[in-house]
Structure 1
Amino acid sequence: MQEENKVIEYKSLAKVTKGSSGLKELAITCVCLANTQGGNIIIGVEDKSKMPPSDQKIPDSIMNTTVSRLRNLCFNVSISLNDKEVHENGGEFFSIAIHPTLKSIATTSEGKIFIRIGDQCQPARGEDIVRLASEKDAFQWELQIRNVKVSEIPEGSLLWLGDEIRNSDRVKPFVKEMSDIEIAEHYNLVIDGKLTNLGILWLGDFKQRSRIVYPLTVQYIVYDELEKKVRKVDWTDNTKNPKDLLLDIEKEAIELGYFDEFPQGFFRNKIRHYDGRLIRELLINAIAHKSYTISGDIFIRVYPNRLEITNPGGLPLGITKDNILHTTNRRNPHLIRILHDLKLMEGEGSGYDLIYEITGRDSKPYPEVISDFNSTTVSQSSKILDEEAVLLMDFIAKSYPLSQKELIALGIVARHKKVLTTQLTRELQLNDEERVRSYIGKLLEKGILISRGIKKGTEYLINPKLLKNSKINIKPTLKVIEPHRLKALIIEDLERYPRSEANEIRKRLEEVPIEDIRKIIYKMVRKGELEHTKDKTYRKYWLAKKNRNNIEN
């Protein structure tokens, strides 16, 4: 069975058979699913084993009673009962489908509102309720019919759309066989002979687009070191459809094509400030996830050290800066469908994976996302964090066939030199440390990475043998020093500078993370190899007498 995610939830049969508290909890799950994208609750499957007990039998009466009681415990929630199923182990289970609410807000019978954040249900805050109401309007915006007939749009618009769709390898054959008007209807650009808002965005002229509330407009602004405007281009005349607009922005944004150079043997390696695929993905995200019910332009601001893209509307409901890598929620699903089929954007949920892969390979910071109700800003730095990591990532990518997940994880390890399991889990935005295995398992098997330590103390680093074979002139670093060698350095340091604080030792061993120094010091204290003052905040350490005698002898 699938893992639990934003649209799938597993519940034990005991939730619906033992007391009312389980059903109330189930009602909360129904509400939070209805307020986002809907989903399925699978009842009778144990959460840990992901399978029902082999001897479990479920009478139809329990299934019907469950749905009936849930309908009484939550309002504005559409619940339907699916057929009973039998697992391969013989145990029975059933599921209920929760449909998304399109215009109303789902609540429990007590009037409480819940939303889905990743795979968790959380109470809605005041600002969440405002966003939720706004999202309902945004979801309907695309399909609202305008008083514009197909005969009133510019000649050639339907022909252009038909040719674009038929030339795409992402479109199924039966769609390519449709007529031009049927293709427009298939993508909800035309309904009953009239254009929708989405249809005017793609097929209308500048007058028709200008009447949309609110049209797609963009401003591109370049700043100097003092953050003064030095160049500005805008697209506010509504003359272009989304594809032509995107291509024109990429053509005009010459500053985004600048690059850095650094030596690589007899040659010079060029790394663009912003990879072309990264620019495309950030721009298309701004267009696809813009709130078309909020007034405002998309702003592309280019500074000497960073790129900022701001679009009207906050992040889609259920998505935060801390789960954006694994959580998806379509604000404009029909627009996204066309952009995907025209090969302008990656598949659902894979856009930020590509961004993380690119920034990891170029050893650049991951984009910073800042979002409130009115706008979302994505800031991407142009700075290369580690030139050696760029060369190393390039060597490994050419020498080993690696998946996108593996490249993302490898990029994190390469830039940090060494990373703990807990830190890797956090940077990959994972809820469970066990899921890290899917990112680094094969990297360990292939000998690209090695691990040290156990459980939460496990740390990963690039295999020294691989560094040697790469023939890249990588400078040695104390960041990856082995524990016993670090202990010897600390002993030598305290022999010269007794009664030192951990931070003072860190200043003299500046490359070594303070966490590693503290770990060794605490271990030496437990073994009686170090002594220390009684105060906790500014504790000083020195070699124990027996340790000093061993050194002298």
Structure 2
Amino acid sequence: MEEGIGIDYKSLKKVVDSSGKLKSEGLRDLAVTSVAFANVRGGKIVIGIEDKDKQPPLNQTLSVKLANDTVTRLKSLCFNVGFLLGEIETHSNGSQFFSITVYPTLKSVATTADGKIYIRIGDQCQPARSEDIVRLASEKDAFQWELQPRNISYTEIPEINLQWFADEIRKSDRVKTNIKELSDIEIIEHYNLIDKGKLTNLGVLWLATAAQRSRLVYPLTVQYIVYDDLEKKIRKEDWQDYSKNPKELLLEIEKEAIELTYYDEFPQGLFRNKIRHYDERLIRELLINAIAHKSYTISGDIFIKVYQDRFEITNPGGLPLGITKDNILHTTYRRNPHLIRILHDLKLMEGEGTGYNLIYEITSRDAKAFPIPTSDYNATSVTQYSKILDEEAVLLLDFIAKNYQLSQKEFIALGVITRHKKILATQLTKELQLTDEDRLRSYISRLSSQSIIINRGEKKGREYLVNPKLIASSKINIKPTLKTIEQPRLKALIEEVLKITPNISIKTIHSKIGDIDISDVRKCVYKLVKEDVLETSGAKTDRSYFLAKKKRIEKEKEK
């Protein structure tokens, strides 16, 4: 398992020296990791594993005393951190290691012994900034919001509301049979909607009347606004009367948001292919995310703003600590876990941690840009553009989907490769929000083995593109592009350009070639200079290139 927001591997050398004594410096580093885990979502520290090998060194043996002493010292180096020491385990190579589970702090903020606060972001432990500390305090309160009881007895709510919720749960194939067999009140209790006969905040959200919902400090309210091409407001709908529970509200928004149902048409043989500006599954997932991850301790409505080329959904509260726009695809956090459980069981949202995977798959299939999240302390916004970046890519992906069984991860990767025509492994790794190229294998290994994609180059120069033979067999009228030209041919093309127009810059060479990345042109030019095919003149800022004398003579002879 890779290091991430909830797991970290530490070498035994970090904990003990060559004589077997605990190392103070290494333990302080473990304390930082422990505090960072506790402040976000908890985690596990595995001690005795070498990062490079992903396994313990051969013949490594550990004692129970060492493990106990490590936890004891850690407790003295942290405040408000709970630990659970696991048993000493034996790896498949016969060596030993042990793990320490760090519990998340539910109400307090964890600190190191010297008063410093850290948070876990991806696989890194970072010092908390002033705004992070404010968010951290807010998150601790928000985590408890759902279960706080209100002074409303369940007998005060309409019986039909209780029956409706229980019936919805019983109809779901995601709910176990033993839960469906409970009485209405027992189901309500099971989902934490009531506590000792009183409605919780969560219960008010799902079961109460409009008047009762209005008493929530920050109830669930939504505004839907449509703008014209000059970004002038032309239509507005709002849901601020508290009359609907989350499911009813979601269905009502989907019904009224007609601007989100528009579609584009483009030719596909004798027919016209229709692609919606925004896939209905994508809209629902983004709406549900806004409802599920809204901070119900911060004032503000959920805003849905629809422009000519995009729509934006904004909900109160920043991204949860540990989640950024650069790791949102692989990192999960449940700000309102009990609300999320209900939304999942009612089949309104995907499973935990799969929502953005679905969004990325949909946008990949439709050859559209991935959604763009932005966040500050007060709000989180997600922007989705409607433009199809490459119509030919849509047809090609549709052909592949009909002829190959691909996983969600493979389709996401293939969509990126198809849109770019050709992409470096380093760039693909970044777009898929992966921490290293090793993790890229699970996305592309089967694509390569089935000859759907091919690769060229080595190491940092490795690049991926759709197999030209597959494109040919698809019988789709795809225009050829120089973006996928092989390097020897690109070199020859550059030589021809310089034969006709010598003494020009790389920028000018690129403009004469056209449909190709300037980075590829630059790389080829540098190689040609190194191979003594080209010569240069001028300083670095205004350098120009021309064919070497020997090469000019060869070109003349060819002529």
Give the TM-score category using the shorter length. Answer: over 0.9
The equivalent position to 1:300 in structure 2, one of 282, 304, 307, is 304
The equivalent position to 2:284 in structure 1, one of 274, 280, 285, is 280
Structure 1 CA distance, aligned partners of 2:99 and 2:217?
40
What SS does the corresponding residue of 1:451 show, helix, strand or coil?
A: strand
Structure-to-structure mapping, 1:174-323, within 5 angstroms: 174-323=178-327
Query: C-alpha deviations, 1:246-273, integer Å up to 9, x for none?
Result: 0110011111100000111111010100
Query: C-alpha deviations, 1:443-494, integer Å up to 9, x for none?
Result: 1110110111111101111111111111110011111111111111111111
TM-score by length of 1: 0.98
Structure 2 CA distance, aligned partners of 1:282 and 1:401?
27
One-letter amino acid of the structure 2 residue matched with residue 126 of structure 1: S
Corresponding residue for residue 541 of structure 2: 537
Query: C-alpha deviations, 1:94-139, integer Å up to 9, x for none?
Result: 2211111111111101111110101211111111111111111111
What SS does the corresponding residue of 1:423 show, helix, strand or coil?
A: helix
Corresponding residue for residue 327 of structure 1: 331
The equivalent position to 1:396 in structure 2, one of 400, 404, 409, is 400
Corresponding residue for residue 6 of structure 2: 7
Moved more, 11-20 or 165-174: 11-20
Moved more, 139-148 or 53-62: 53-62
One-letter amino acid of the structure 2 residue matched with residue 548 of structure 1: R
What SS does the corresponding residue of 2:265 show, helix, strand or coil?
A: strand
Structure 2 CA distance, aligned partners of 1:87 and 1:265?
58
Query: C-alpha deviations, 1:299-331, integer Å up to 9, x for none?
Result: 001111111111111111111111111111111
Question: How big is the shift at 1:185?
Answer: 1.3
Structure-to-structure mapping, 1:46-195, within 5 angstroms: 46-195=50-199
Structure 1 CA distance, aligned partners of 2:58 and 2:210?
64
What SS does the corresponding residue of 2:264 show, helix, strand or coil?
A: strand
Structure 1 CA distance, aligned partners of 2:300 and 2:544?
57
Structure 2 CA distance, aligned partners of 1:253 and 1:538?
54
Structure 2 CA distance, aligned partners of 1:156 and 1:286?
27
Question: How big is the shift at 1:506?
Answer: 0.9
What SS does the corresponding residue of 2:44 show, helix, strand or coil?
A: strand
Structure 1 CA distance, aligned partners of 2:344 and 2:361?
20
What SS does the corresponding residue of 1:476 show, helix, strand or coil?
A: coil
Query: C-alpha deviations, 1:161-219, integer Å up to 9, x for none?
Result: 11111111111222122211111111111111111101110111111111112100000
Q: 1:236 to 1:443 in 2, by over 3 A?
A: same
Question: How big is the shift at 1:54?
Answer: 4.4
Structure 2 CA distance, aligned partners of 1:347 and 1:505?
51
The equivalent position to 2:370 in structure 1, one of 349, 366, 369, is 366
Question: How big is the shift at 1:87?
Answer: 2.8
Corresponding residue for residue 354 of structure 1: 358
One-letter amino acid of the structure 2 residue matched with residue 9 of structure 1: D
Structure 2 CA distance, aligned partners of 1:119 and 1:107?
19
Residue 481 of structure 2 is aligned to residue 477 of structure 1: yes
Corresponding residue for residue 422 of structure 1: 426
Question: How big is the shift at 1:5?
Answer: 2.3
What SS does the corresponding residue of 1:378 show, helix, strand or coil?
A: strand
Moved more, 5-14 or 102-111: 5-14
Residue 31 of structure 2 is aligned to residue 27 of structure 1: yes
What SS does the corresponding residue of 1:89 show, helix, strand or coil?
A: coil
Structure 1: tracts of 5 or more residues without a match: none
Write out the 4+ residue segments of structure 1 that deviate beyond 6 Å after TM superposition: none
What SS does the corresponding residue of 1:14 show, helix, strand or coil?
A: helix
Structure 1 CA distance, aligned partners of 2:90 and 2:492?
62
The equivalent position to 2:409 in structure 1, one of 395, 399, 405, is 405
What SS does the corresponding residue of 2:15 show, helix, strand or coil?
A: helix
Structure 2 CA distance, aligned partners of 1:118 and 1:170?
30
Structure 2 CA distance, aligned partners of 1:285 and 1:408?
20
Structure 2 CA distance, aligned partners of 1:261 and 1:415?
19
